[in-house]
A and B are shown apart, each in its own frame.
Chain A
Amino acid sequence: MRILAYIIKRVLAAVPVLIGVSILTFLISHAIPGDPARIIVGPKASKEAVEAIRREHGLDRPLPVQYVRYMTGLMQGDLGQSIRNHRPVTKDLADFFPATLELTLASLVLCLAVGIPLGILAAVRRNRLADHVARVFSVIGVSTPVFWLGLMLLLLFYRNLGWLPGSGRLDITSTPPAAVTGLYVVDAVLARDWALLKEVLSHLILPAFCLSYVYLAVITRIVRSSMIAVLGQDYITTARANGLSAARVVFKHAFKNSLIPTVTIAGLSLGELLGGAILTETIFAWPGMGKYVVDSINALDFPAIMGFTLLASTAYVVINLGVDVLYAFLNPRIRY
């Protein structure tokens, strides 16, 4: 019950945060010099044509009026019409967000599935070969530019070795699966199309690894540091002295108590990834939010910029709330 009350309190507190974000984004995007009406009609169009479009989209109204109109629409689930794509922003987000979500989740799985064991190994085998390898692997991860890594992965695994397919979510000639969730892995499983599942996974590996590498490196180091700190505690020495196996000491006693910083980093990483990994999405022709929002900014597509910002902010709020709730489960001493 206390957790439930805490969650409700946090959700209510998120509302003014999201309103503040919307006002700030609205003001900043309108402060950028540029005329979206001109972008719609093209550079060679006459001034009269530009004025007509400005009136059509309400861009000639005062800023507060435009903001109120936007928020009124938002309350009814209408995020406005994309100036660039001439369609509801909600449709655009529905098209592009699942791709980002799928890539993000795959990256997160890789981060945790590789980063945590590597960090534990490095901590348990501290100052030995495994530790050195893990640390070099981490340093490379945080130092390597994502765009370079992506191109090298394509060059090696696609062009030179032919082990993995090129960019995109699917082969060029393949038709996307019937959209249920928009996550091709899930949709392929639901359709029991195993050939398609294989194809989707093969396309997901390289961009997921490229995107996850830097976060994986950070998680490895965080897990290593936390584990080393916990493994040095008196109660661990006691547990060993009592004859508990190494595995039991590490996984049952040490690991759980070192998870708090890892969960924090994982939560922050997830929020950042959901914001759109523009470089990875560009290199791998991944049709996600990153490229969508950059193109929207370049075109001063205000409704799209606002829609994306609100979506990303909501995601951050939800993830942070999830992380805070998880703390209570990981550490019973934490109470809200």
Chain B
Amino acid sequence: MRIWTLCLLLLITALAPAALAADKDTLVVGVSSDIHTLDPGVSSDNYDWRQIYPCYDRLVKYKVKDGVGLTEVEPMAAESWAVSADGLKWTFKIRKGIAFDDGTPLNAEAVRYSFDRTIAIGKGPADNLTAIASMAVVDDYTLEITLKNPYGPFLQTLATDGASIINPKVADRAVNDDKAQAFLAENVDGSGPFKIVEWTRGQRCVLEAKPNYWGGAPKLKKVIIRFMAESADRRMALEQGDVDIAENILIDQIPALEKNKDVVVNRFPSQMVEYVYVNCQNEKLKDPAVRQALSYAVDYQGIIDHVLQGNGVQMRGPIPDGMWGHRKDVFQYKRDTAKAKELLKAAGAENLELTLIYSERRATWEQIALVMQANLAEIGVKLNLELMANPTLRDKIDKGDFELCLGAWSPDFADPYMFMNFWFDSAKAGLPGNRSFYKNDKVDELVRKAEVSSVVEERKKLYGEAQDIIMQDAPYIFLYQIQTIVPLRADVQGYVFNPMLESMYNFEAISKK
């Protein structure tokens, strides 16, 4: 036994790690899941965009003011643009002097090719470009885009990952007419400040900075994205200094991190919201009075204080705070069990029994479901809880085969269209957005008018009017807007959170002390 112990100690000593040299030029980010694809024309996943976004330029980018990321956009590869009076024709002047790694210039043709490719592939990112009817290269650096209809959010959609500008030479890499999907699934070919030099699946992705980037050389030389599925593992690595930023640390582990002097825990109000879809087509939930009763029954602040540990703000209306169109004066449900019971009685819906479905996508959902079960029991509603796998849940939502369902939503681009039209337009019923299968002709009219207007004030008024109707109809239980928590090492500087870029980082501006 003594020999075994001695051997074990010798082995451990021999294999003890050398101290990792602190590298000021390399940023390491510990993330929870691997990339699926690097193709901006295919990916619908923020976790993919984290790696893709810094490798490409887009026509516009989100503004940063005083270290705060804004939802407004400013010129990037497009140095200016003009829109016709009818809102249909957009003319972009492309900035000269931008080139891809092989020297191919980023010009009007490159933009046209990229958008055409994304639309032709027809996967998730294409939805943000469906407003485009045609494009014309007026000259090398002027692109004219004609829309099918005037589309208020159009400019905002050009800052999304799907609007990334790809080197048109990738067409030579197409196999069997796949539009180079096989190539771009594993490679990048953009003009952005970084390029991907290694992707070892399941382990890490390495980005290298381009010192000659037209927008200015990044301060970092290298970024390593390390895939670590377990939250505790990411946390330990952050505390040890092996990673500089750790994503998705479970809420109950945050207080311990806050006590660590080498770690800074940042909190930012995000545009990500969590809410409950109330199936308006279901017999038991058709009556708005019943839906209102459910909204009155929920203990919103209790959920935020005890489940989220304060890391959230109750939603006020469907447009989150921070997005234009949010109204601070729109009706907000507060817990009122007496009112809820009264509404149920008047609707003849006492002794109601409902089922709430949810998936394992969020660690907090199980607790929220239990809180809601207790809250609804107080007003005489028996709430059954059903946990299911995410694909199964999505299938049920798409088919309207559910009563209540917990969900989350974040906007792809900074326009209230992402909430008002997706959630309430009856034409988008089902998984695409209107998951409550809500139908109100007046609301349809208002949100569709707002969609085709390019006048912000007019759109605000239309969306504002729609919100009043929606809050009375209560097609969703609007729970909360979450706070994004980003713990990072104290020596990391320059990080700017942008609510439109969840799980994405401004690597080009980050540095380490």
Contact = CB atoms under 8 A, between A and B. Distances in A.
- Which residue among B182, B202, B236, B243 has the maximum number of chain A CB atoms within 10 Å of its CB? B202
B448 interface: no
A292 B227 CA distance: 13
A41 B16 CA distance: 46
B5 interface: no
A93 B465 CA distance: 54
B122 A33 contact: no
A33 B117 CA distance: 32
Given A44-B432, A49-B126, A87-B182, A32 B236 contact: no
Interface string B385-397: 0000111101110
A168 B12 CA distance: 18
A250 B122 CA distance: 70
A180 interface: no
Interface residues of A, number: 64
A58 interface: no
Contacts of A284: 233
A164 B240 contact: no
Given A95-B201, A159-B239, A44 B124 contact: yes
Contact of B202 (A32, A198, A292): A292
Interface string B358-397: 0000000000000000000000000000000111101110
B391 A35 contact: yes
A202 interface: yes
Contacts of B36: 84-86
A167 to B, nearest CB: 5
Contact of B181 (A39, A46, A86): A86
B210 interface: no
A20 interface: no
B21 to A, nearest CB: 9
Contact of B230 (A163, A172, A283): A283
Contact of B12 (A96, A159, A163, A285): A163
B228 A168 contact: yes
Interface in A148-189: 151, 154-155, 158-159, 162-173, 175-176
A175 B198 contact: yes
A92 B37 CA distance: 13
B16 A202 contact: yes
A297 B392 CA distance: 11
Interface residues of B, number: 63
A35 B23 CA distance: 45
Contacts of B33: 295
A95 B199 CA distance: 11
A235 to B, nearest CB: 30
Contacts of A166: 233, 236-237, 240, 242
B395 to A, nearest CB: 5
* Most chain A Cβ neighbours within 10 Å, of B14, B122, B243: B122
B162 to A, nearest CB: 10
A135 interface: no
B432 A46 contact: yes
Given A34-B391, A35-B394, A95-B202, A45 B26 contact: no
Contacts of B398: 35, 38
A36 interface: yes
Contacts of A163: 12, 16
Contacts of A35: 391, 394-395, 398
B233 A300 contact: no
B12 A164 contact: yes
Contact of A176 (B181, B203, B228, B396): B203
A13 to B, nearest CB: 35
A201 interface: yes
Nearest to A81: B182
B186 interface: yes
Contact of A43 (B20, B123, B431): B431
Nearest to A99: B202
B204 to A, nearest CB: 7
Contact of B243 (A32, A44, A172): A172
Contact of A287 (B122, B127, B182, B203): B203
A245 to B, nearest CB: 20
Nearest to B222: A173
A291 interface: yes
B233 A36 contact: no
A49 B230 contact: no
B496 interface: no
Given A45-B44, A166-B236, A173 B224 contact: yes
Contact of A291 (B17, B202, B422, B431): B202
Contact of B185 (A87, A151, A167): A87
Interface in B286-321: none
A298 to B, nearest CB: 6
B170 interface: no
A65 interface: no
B28 interface: yes
Given A35-B398, A164-B15, A169 B203 contact: yes
Nearest to A299: B391
Contacts of B390: 298
Nearest to A83: B36
B229 A282 contact: yes
B198 to A, nearest CB: 7
A287 B181 contact: no
Interface in A23-43: 32-36, 38-43
19 contacts: A33-B395, A34-B389, A41-B123, A44-B433, A46-B130, A49-B122, A53-B122, A85-B37, A87-B185, A162-B240, A163-B16, A169-B203, A171-B17, A201-B15, A202-B15, A202-B17, A283-B232, A287-B227, A298-B390
Given A33-B396, A44-B44, 12 more contacts: A32-B392, A34-B391, A85-B37, A87-B185, A154-B233, A165-B17, A169-B203, A172-B204, A172-B237, A198-B15, A202-B15, A205-B12
